[in-house]
């Protein structure tokens, strides 16, 4: 691997410091049963729950951010995000379908744990459909992928609304909360080990293909002419991005904008080379999601905490518009 430039080294150091600060803040913030906010180092049980939340946010943030880097390289579009291929809507559709079946069969439904498997199956299943339909001449085609992703997302959206309409009132609120993203303090160790391993392996694969992603920024003919096998690379990027997104959605729900904003924040600090960008985006994603979780702990509206997705969207939405307005989306 080539040596880091001074700017890249300093940028990575800054991101590590920011991640550390958000982790410390998340471990300190504490809201008691009566809703009073305090900042203190408390007993081991409470600390264990907060560590779990930190790990959930870190795994989901890194997975979504690295997935965003891969998809932006795959689709050659800096405005691509992990949900452009329909993973989140597929996950949400599976969750709402299972909720409906459970409610109609009168089985007790615990959304804060049992949604992991249907969400993962839904996300992977939808990505499989998009993969099959997004090919041209036997290989994945960026434009076909985006178009198929948009159509599949729209169809899933309609079906989500259909099943949402059929759900009992109590479950409707649970679904909406899940769809805004939940950093669960009660995630199980096995969930953390599986999704954490996926995040680590996925990020390692992304690092390995960093230089290939640099080459893939060229047009198809040119990329091939310098020796890049575009078809196999696109397949790898699609599969890895899909699995990372599915893991993140299964763990924390379809949290928006992390996969779009984290790669861009890293790109602004570290430049466009993908090997460094993968690491930087993962750190930025971790910081963004833990930071958003801290904000959701601190900000209490009418006695209830805001879903973490509200804060990532509040940061991500304006940033997205800024990207569009400044023309960075075209570069």
Partner 1 sequence: MSLRLENLSHRYGSLDTLQRISVQAEPGKITAVLGPNAAGKSTLLKCVIGSERPVSGHVYIQGSQVTDLSPRQLAQHVAYVPQRSTVAAAFTVQDVVELGRYALPRNPSRIQNALANLDLLELAHRPYPALSVGQQQRVTLARALCQVEDNGIMVLDEPTSAMDLKHMQQCMTLLRQLAERGITILLVLHDISMAAQVADAVWLLERGTLVASGSVAEVLQPDRLKSVFHVPFAWIQETAGRRRLVALMQSTVNVDTMEQP
Q: Kindly tell me which of 7 and 31 has the beta carbon lying closer to partner 1.
A: 7
Q: CB-based contacts of 153: which residues, under 8 Å, 6+ apart?
A: 83, 84, 86, 89
- Shortest distance in whole angstroms from residue 327 CB to partner 1: 10
CB of 330 vs partner 1, minimal distance in Å: 9
* Touching partner 1, residues 272-311 (CB under 8 A): 272-273
Terminal CA-CA length for the chain = 26
Q: Is 220 in the site for partner 1 (CB under 8 A)?
A: yes
CA–CA dist 274, 263 (Å, integer): 10
**8 A C-beta contact, residue 91 and residue 228:** no
Exposed, middle or buried by CB within 10 Å (0-12, 13-18, 19+), for 165?
exposed
* Alpha carbon distance 126, 142 (integer Å): 17
* Structural tokens at position 10: 């300093």
Nearer to partner 1, 69 or 175 (CB): 69
Q: 228 and 58 in contact (C-beta within 8 Å)? A: no
Residues that bind partner 1 (rule: CB under 8 A) add up to a total of: 23
- Map residues 223-242 to x or -, x wherever contact with partner 1 holds by CB under 8 A: -xxxxxxx------------
- 104 vs 217, beta carbon nearer partner 1: 217
User: Does the protein bind partner 1 through residue 215 (CB under 8 A)?
Assistant: yes
Report in angstroms how near the CB of residue 8 gets to partner 1 at its nearest. Answer: 13
Q: Which is nearer to partner 1, 77 or 102 (CB)?
A: 77
Closer to partner 1 by CB, 128 or 219: give it: 219
Looking at 169, 221, 304, 325, which residue binds partner 1 (CB under 8 A)?
Answer: 221
Helices 274-298 and 44-74, packing angle to 10 deg: 140
Q: Which residues bind partner 1 (CB under 8 A)?
A: 76-78, 211, 214-215, 217-222, 224-230, 271-273, 331
């Amino acid at each position: 691997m080539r040596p880091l430039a001074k700017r890249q080294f300093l940028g990575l150091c800054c991101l590590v410091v920011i991640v550390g600060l958000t982790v410390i803040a998340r471990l300190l913030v504490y809201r008691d049963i009566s809703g009073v906010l305090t900042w203190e180092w408390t007993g081991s049980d409470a600390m264990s729950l907060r560590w779990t939340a930190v790990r959930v946010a870190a795994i989901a943030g890194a997975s979504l951010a690295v997935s965003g880097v891969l998809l932006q390289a795959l689709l050659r579009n800096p405005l691509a995000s992990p949900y452009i291929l329909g993973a989140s809507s597929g996950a949400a559709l599976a969750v709402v379908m299972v909720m409906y079946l459970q409610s109609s069969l009168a089985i007790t439904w615990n959304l804060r744990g049992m949604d992991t498997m249907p969400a993962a199956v839904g996300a992977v299943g939808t990505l499989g459909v998009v993969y099959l339909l997004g090919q041209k001449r036997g290989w994945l085609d960026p434009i076909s992928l985006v178009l198929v992703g948009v159509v599949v997302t729209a169809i899933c959206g309609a079906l989500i609304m259909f099943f949402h309409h059929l759900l009992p009132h109590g479950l409707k609120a649970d679904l909406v909360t899940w769809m805004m993203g939940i950093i669960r303090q009660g995630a199980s160790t096995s969930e953390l080990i599986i999704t954490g391993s996926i995040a680590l392996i996925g990020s390692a694969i992304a690092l390995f293909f960093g230089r290939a992603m640099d080459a893939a920024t060229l047009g198809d003919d040119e990329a091939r002419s310098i020796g890049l096998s575009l078809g196999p690379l696109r397949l790898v990027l699609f599969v890895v991005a899909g699995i990372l997104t599915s893991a993140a959605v299964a763990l924390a729900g379809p949290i928006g904008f992390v996969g779009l904003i984290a790669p861009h924040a890293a790109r602004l600090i570290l430049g466009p080379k993908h090997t460094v960008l993968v690491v930087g985006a993962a750190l930025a994603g971790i910081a963004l999601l833990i930071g958003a979780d801290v904000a959701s702990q601190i900000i209490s509206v009418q006695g209830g905490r805001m879903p973490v997705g509200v804060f990532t969207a509040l940061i991500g939405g304006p940033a997205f518009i800024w990207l569009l307005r400044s023309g960075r989306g075209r570069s």
